[in-house]
Amino acid sequence: MAVTVRGGAAESDDVGLALYQALRDQGSCPPATAAARLGLTATEAAVGWAELRELGLIRAGRSPEEVDPVDPDTALISLLDRQRAALQAQREELTAIVRASESLMERYRPAVQRDAAKVEVEIITGDGRKRQMVGDYYATLTTRSRSMHPGPLPPAEVLAESLQGDADMVKRGIRVQAIYTQGINSAPRQRKYLSELASAGVEVRLAPQVPLDLSIGDMHTAMLAANPDNPSEAALLVRGTALVRTYSALYEDCWLRSVPYSTKVADRFDSASELTEQHRTAMRLLANGLTDERIARKLGISLRTVSRLVSEVMRYLQAESRFQAGVLAVTHGFI
């Protein structure tokens, strides 16, 4: 059978039909043999074979390298069966999507909206009731506890109870964070408490100012004083992610503005004689934001000496930056 050639290439509409008729006339044969008998190049024949495979008009022959023709009626039935199976799969997928959408819209979305809108505020009065509330509050935490304390510190027995509670949470795998004002680190008893907190695994930081007394449990509960000017009065217990998220954002801002508490620096506080008056003066100028050049001019020393003094101060204070060194120097009363 001759295949029409136009412009040096076989017409694609004729190639598939020609190959199919050749197979029906000659029976099973390798595709290359059928193409050669029709005078087709491999590129020209590839178009025809792709059409026959897509229509289901050929199948594997008696040997792997041969192909057989398939009756058009049989190919049509197979094509309709494949289409029916594809439509059934699409219908099942669409049904599953509709069910999932209904569940999301009718069950889960309203539940989330209710949770976000639901805010409970409870006023707690009386020392006994507040102590019970604190115990219940810490017992419900599972992942994280964050607190900030503007001071002053409570009595020793309250501190001991709080320290034990924080240590227990750390043992339970809860991340415990606490922010205190720099002024709290000015007395031996207070420094001892901060060191014990840090030794228990609490992440302690110091900030120049702490806005209020606040504790945040996970992301669902917050405790704070009803009257910030007198924390010993009634306490507020707030439940609900909508409002707790706001307190959490406030806390994170304070956390980023604070510096880590260093027990090594605290332990050396009483031996500050290791720092010379020149070190202290350099720290004071550093804390005031002066550049090395200005410090050198004020002290009448070289830039190399200023660099050495600053490095020694940073090493002494365990500071990771000049800014942190200045903050720690103020915090620990070195300047």
Region 46-58 average pLDDT:
91
Q: How far apart are CA 43 and CA 161, in angstroms?
A: 85
Q: How far apart are CA 110 and CA 23, in angstroms?
A: 64
Query: Which among 180, 154, 323, 153 has a CA at the least distance from the CA of 261?
Result: 180
Least confident range from 123-132, 155-164, 260-269, 300-309: namely 260-269
Q: What is the predicted pLDDT for the residue at 6?
A: 41
Q: What is the predicted pLDDT for the residue at 128?
A: 81
Helix (H/G/I), strand (E/B), else coil: 68: strand
Enclosing H/E stretch for 306 = helix 303-317
Band of the pLDDT at 12, cuts 50, 70, 90?
A: low
Band of the pLDDT at 332, cuts 50, 70, 90?
A: low
Region 6-33 average pLDDT:
77
Band of the pLDDT at 2, cuts 50, 70, 90?
A: very low
Percent of the chain with pLDDT over 90: 24
Region 228-232 average pLDDT:
73
The alpha carbon dihedral of 121, 127, 131, 132 has a sign of negative
Q: What is the predicted pLDDT for the residue at 9?
A: 41
pLDDT tens for 93-117 read 988 888 888 888 777 766 655 555 5
pTM of the full predicted structure? Answer: 0.50
Could you tell me the two tokens for 232? 């010993």
Q: What is the predicted pLDDT for the residue at 156?
A: 82
pLDDT at 290 over 70: yes
Percent of the chain with pLDDT over 70: 86
pLDDT at 144 over 50: yes
Least confident range from 3-7, 223-227, 277-281, 327-331: namely 3-7
Region 276-285 average pLDDT:
82
Could you tell me the two tokens for 73? 């009626």
Q: What is the predicted pLDDT for the residue at 69?
A: 92
Q: How far apart are CA 204 and CA 181, in angstroms?
A: 11
Instruction: Please tell me which residue, 59 or 283, carries the higher pLDDT value.
Output: 59
pLDDT at 130 over 70: yes
pLDDT at 168 over 80: yes
